[in-house]
């Protein structure tokens, strides 16, 4: 029998710094509530499932955090306050444009004086400047809060904790659940304390089902919010059926359905009585447009209708 979500939280301890994070999220939400702004909680990247308490090995998934980090930039651009719940060391907003070894190639050193100076090569300024401007604007607006996780259990604790502060935004809160969250895990009670030893032979690892926290999230934690989940599949034949199944089970607003191979160019927004294809053409990609911009523009409109509908009731 899979655990209920309550049992999962009872059996898996929170991250050690949960209270500090709770404090940060509370302050952030309080600050932006005053200004009546919309807020979005974005989850991004994949969770790990440790195989040992002193973790050397873990089960991971492919998600790089591109969807979440690009979307965060676009939500900030249109005025949302953004809580970015992301897998540590996955792709981050703004940094994603300059990450990697190429960044060092963009710099030059002047060692002609006693105090060497470092500057951006003039040939690179046009690439860095727009990103830097957007990053600085996000920092100055103080509308961007990053909260990091690594394991599945930390993710679920941080998600629940963040949700404590969203109900005061009512329908102005959006949840954009793009993280790839493991469906399976090794319960703490069945995990060895120390590194699994090869001399003991090939291990048999039994994975249990993770309870679906989308259910309490929608019905209990943030009942008035505009909740969007993602559905990833590799088989086109089951994609929309699975998205519809999730909508009817959890009763949230939209499932953004995508296939792994085409996720950068096609997402289907499935609602209870409709579906809208969001497609990026080859030409648009070449012009530098990202599908996340189209997704965020679409969601902004849908969120507006939702807020209007909620306040007129």
Residues at the site binding ligand PAZ, with contacts judged by CB under 6 A: 63-67, 178, 180-181, 230-232, 258, 263
Shorter beta-carbon distance to ligand PAZ: residue 181 or 217: 181
What 3-state class would DSSP assign to 145?
strand
Burial of 196 by CB count in 10 Å (0-12 exposed, 13-18 middle, 19+ buried)? middle
Shorter beta-carbon distance to ligand PAZ: residue 263 or 266: 263
* d(C-alpha 35, C-alpha 303), whole Å: 18
- Residue (of 174, 178, 148) closest to 263 by Cα position: 178
What 3-state class would DSSP assign to 187?
coil
Q: Minimum CB separation from ligand PAZ for residue 275, in Å?
A: 16
List of E strands, the chain: 39-44, 49-50, 58-59, 81-87, 107-110, 117-120, 144-149, 173-177, 184-185, 208-209, 226-233, 254-259, 266-271, 274-279
Q: Minimum CB separation from ligand PAZ for residue 305, in Å?
A: 23
Q: Minimum CB separation from ligand PAZ for residue 66, in Å?
A: 3
Could you tell me if 46 and 87 are in contact, meaning their C-beta atoms sit under 8 angstroms apart?
A: yes
What 3-state class would DSSP assign to 269?
strand
Q: Minimum CB separation from ligand PAZ for residue 19, in Å?
A: 28
Shorter beta-carbon distance to ligand PAZ: residue 37 or 276: 276
Shorter beta-carbon distance to ligand PAZ: residue 65 or 148: 65
Q: Minimum CB separation from ligand PAZ for residue 222, in Å?
A: 18
Shorter beta-carbon distance to ligand PAZ: residue 32 or 216: 216
Opening angle at CA 289, ends 283 and 291, nearest 5: 105
Shorter beta-carbon distance to ligand PAZ: residue 178 or 218: 178
Q: Minimum CB separation from ligand PAZ for residue 231, in Å?
A: 5
- Residue (of 168, 163, 180) closest to 83 by Cα position: 163
Shorter beta-carbon distance to ligand PAZ: residue 61 or 127: 61
* d(C-alpha 170, C-alpha 167), whole Å: 5
- Residue (of 212, 205, 202) closest to 186 by Cα position: 205
Q: Minimum CB separation from ligand PAZ for residue 112, in Å?
A: 44
Give 215's contacts (C-beta < 8 A, 6+ positions apart): 5, 249, 250
């Amino acid at each position: 029998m899979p655990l209920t979500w309550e049992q999962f939280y009872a059996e898996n301890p929170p991250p050690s710094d949960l209270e500090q994070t709770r404090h940060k999220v509370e302050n952030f939400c309080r600050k932006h509530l005053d200004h009546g702004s919309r807020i979005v909680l974005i989850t991004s990247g994949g969770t790990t499932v440790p195989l040992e308490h002193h973790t050397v090995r873990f089960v991971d998934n492919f998600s790089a955090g591109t969807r979440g980090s690009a979307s965060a930039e676009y939500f900030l651009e249109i005025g949302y306050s953004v809580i970015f719940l992301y897998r540590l060391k996955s792709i981050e907003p703004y940094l994603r444009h300059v990450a990697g070894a190429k960044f060092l190639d963009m710099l030059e050193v002047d060692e002609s004086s006693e105090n060497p100076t470092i500057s951006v090569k003039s040939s690179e300024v046009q690439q860095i400047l727009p990103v830097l401007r957007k990053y600085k604007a996000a920092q100055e607006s103080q509308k961007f809060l990053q909260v990091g996780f690594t394991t599945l259990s930390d993710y679920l604790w941080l998600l629940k904790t963040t949700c404590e502060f969203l109900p005061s935004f009512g329908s102005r809160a959006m949840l954009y659940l793009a993280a790839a969250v493991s469906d399976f895990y090794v319960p703490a009670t069945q995990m060895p304390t120390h590194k699994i030893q090869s001399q003991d032979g090939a291990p048999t690892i039994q994975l249990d089902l993770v309870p679906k926290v989308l259910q309490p999230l929608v019905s209990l934690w943030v009942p008035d919010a505009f909740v969007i989940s993602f559905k990833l599949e590799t088989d086109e034949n089951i994609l929309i059926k699975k998205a519809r199944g999730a909508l009817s089970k959890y009763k949230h607003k939209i499932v953004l359905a995508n296939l792994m191979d085409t996720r950068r160019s096609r997402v289907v927004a499935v609602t209870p009585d409709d579906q809208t294809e969001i497609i990026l053409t080859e030409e648009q990609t070449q012009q530098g447009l990202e599908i996340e911009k189209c997704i965020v523009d679409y969601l902004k409109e849908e969120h507006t209708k939702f807020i209007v509908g909620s306040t007129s009731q």
